Amino acid sequence: MLRHFATATIIATFALTAGGCLITGGSSMDQSGTKITSATLDRIELGTTSQAWLVATLGEPTEQTTVDDALHITVLRYEHIVTKAEGGTVFLLFAGGSEERNVTTTYFECVDGVVQRYWIER
């Protein structure tokens, strides 16, 4: 009985692999938004760097919100999203995968068109 099972297993394995590549896998990484590096942040001088320079350097923000019209306070939000996906299949038997999404958001608070502070949320 054990011998028949072993023979059947060997035949099934041969039949599955004889048809070509039956195991596939792969991964991908996609990025979107604006990646703000520490080198860029080092160039920003709080109380001196203008909002116009910030937008010229980083591009248009993901969102711009006026907090107080009278005090001319604006917050610029830049998002950077990295999505990593991995997956694999075994022909007709199994398919699976995973996805990891990391979002980094950098905020800049500007008063009268000048960067006063910034912070990063991960």
Nearest Cα to 36, choosing from 85, 76, 84, 83? 76
User: Which residue(s) pair with 33 in the sheet?
Assistant: 80
pLDDT band at 12 (very low <50, low <70, confident <90, very high): low
Work out the end-to-end distance of the chain between its first and last CA atoms, rounded to an integer number of angstroms: 59
Average pLDDT, the chain: 86
Whether the pTM exceeds 0.85: the reply is no
Pair 90, 22: CB distance under 8 Å: yes
**Residue 22 or residue 117, greater confidence:** 117
pLDDT band at 89 (very low <50, low <70, confident <90, very high): confident
For tokens 């502070």, name the residue: 117
The domain ranges of the chain are 24-121
